[in-house]
Amino acid sequence: MTTLLVCSGGGHLKQLWTLWPRFGIAEDPLWVTFDTGLSRSLLADQDVVFSMYTPPRDLPGGLKVARLADQIMRDRRIDRVISTGASLAVSFMAPARARGITCHYIESAARAAGPSLSGRLVSRIPGVNLYSQYPSWAGGRWHHAGAIYDGYRQGPPVTGAPDKPRRVVVTLGTTESYGFRRAVEALIVALPGDAEVLWQTGATDVSGLSIDARETVPSAELAQAVADADLVVAHSGTGSAITAMDAGRCAVLLPRLQKYGEHIDDHQLQIAGELDRRSLAIRCLVDDLAPDVFVRAMSRSVEIVPDPPPFVLLRDGAR
């Protein structure tokens, strides 16, 4: 059997990459995702097809990707499709189900209150197996089989943590459609002037600001920098949060807000809130940045659960 793992970039890819070993599927998969620095770094040794980028709610782009999906399913024997969203899930699962291929859609951990638009669209495709990472809104066709955050737990307090950060990683992800300049401007003021800061700013316009910013940082380099840092500050995206937790860091998460044009909605408030509730990160609004927030984050740690529970997929072929 050939399993097709398909998802958008950023946090969707990090979630699927982290969940994949918990599915209990032995064969090597075929990946389909956007062509980004993260995907090229993370999937360097994988069988991967890169899709054109389609922003959220781009119907013409989605139809073009559906043609790519159709081509892959003609050329390769695909027996199972698994996705953590977003738009690519819709484009691939409709033609997959038309061929009778088993599909599993796992809603993003960013959605603590209910399914995303992509989740609602996929739920209209007959026969797709649907999963919520939150038992609170599972029900009906939506099943709870576990969550990405089950693989992490609060670690012991950090001994000898500094009273102010010396080495800092600021990562705003690599989302192609939205900037987060408000966060950069606030951090320039809030962080110590003598701190060594790695800035990964993605699509954010940082022109005129006194920082040495990089649009993207290769996955391995970013992971090492996070591991070496005293402090990690990130936008509240699942991918950035997972990167910090994998390195044992309790990150300060800054939610992007829709009212400032920083994202399509306010789901990052849900991500930060859930991780704060689990003591895996600290939720902080941009306007509340202060030295005491940094001190709290530097004094905490996160551990990877050695044997996280399996994510049990529904029976293949379920209708």
Q: What CA–CA distances, in Å, run from 10 to 34, 43, 182, 184, 230?
A: 9, 13, 21, 19, 24
Q: Is residue 313 part of a domain?
A: no
Give the number of other Cβ atoms within 10 Å of residue 216's Cβ. 18
pTM, full prediction: 0.84
How many helices (H) does the chain have, and how many strands (E)? 10, 15
Confidence of residue 318 (pLDDT cuts 50, 70, 90): very low
Residues 93 and 175 in one domain: no
List, for residues 126-170, the tens digit of each pLDDT value.
Answer: 999 999 999 999 999 999 999 999 999 999 999 999 999 999 999
Q: Which CATH number does the domain housing residue 163 bear?
A: 3.40.50.2000
What residues form DSSP beta bridges with 303?
153
Residues 258 and 132 in one domain: no
pLDDT, the chain, mean? 93
Structural domain containing residue 10:
3-151
Residues 185 and 224 in one domain: yes
Residues 194 and 139 in one domain: no
Residues 63 and 147 in one domain: yes
Interior angle at CA 108, CA 85 and CA 49, nearest 5: 30
Confidence of residue 256 (pLDDT cuts 50, 70, 90): very high
CA distance 93 to 69: 9
Give me the number of domains the chain comprises: 2
Q: Is residue 316 part of a domain?
A: no
Confidence of residue 175 (pLDDT cuts 50, 70, 90): low
Residues 55 and 178 in one domain: no
The residue out of 151, 171, 201 marking a domain boundary is: 151
For residue 73, the model assigns a pLDDT of: 95
Which residues touch 11 (CB under 8 Å, ≥6 apart)? 108, 110, 173, 237, 238, 239, 240, 241, 242
Residues 229 and 92 in one domain: no
Q: Is residue 25 part of a domain?
A: yes
Q: Does 57 have pLDDT greater than 80?
A: no
CA distance 166 to 262: 28
The residue out of 118, 151, 184 marking a domain boundary is: 151
Q: Does 246 have pLDDT greater than 80?
A: yes
Q: Does 317 have pLDDT greater than 60?
A: no
Share of the chain above pLDDT 70, in %: 98
The residue out of 105, 125, 151 marking a domain boundary is: 151
Report how far Cα 313 is from the mean position of its chain's Cα atoms. Answer: 20
For residue 202, the model assigns a pLDDT of: 92
Q: Does 319 have pLDDT greater than 80?
A: no
Q: Does 254 have pLDDT greater than 90?
A: yes
Q: Is residue 270 part of a domain?
A: yes
Q: Is residue 319 part of a domain?
A: no
Q: Is residue 48 part of a domain?
A: yes
Q: Is residue 317 part of a domain?
A: no
Within 13 Å of residue 276, how many CA atoms lie on the same side as its CB? Answer: 17
List, for residues 70-99, the tens digit of each pLDDT value.
Answer: 999 999 999 999 999 989 999 999 999 999
Residues 270 and 289 in one domain: yes
Residue 158, token pair as written in the block:
């950090």
Q: Does 265 have pLDDT greater than 70?
A: yes
Residues 171 and 142 in one domain: no
Q: Is residue 229 part of a domain?
A: yes
The pLDDT of 281-287, averaged and rounded, is 98
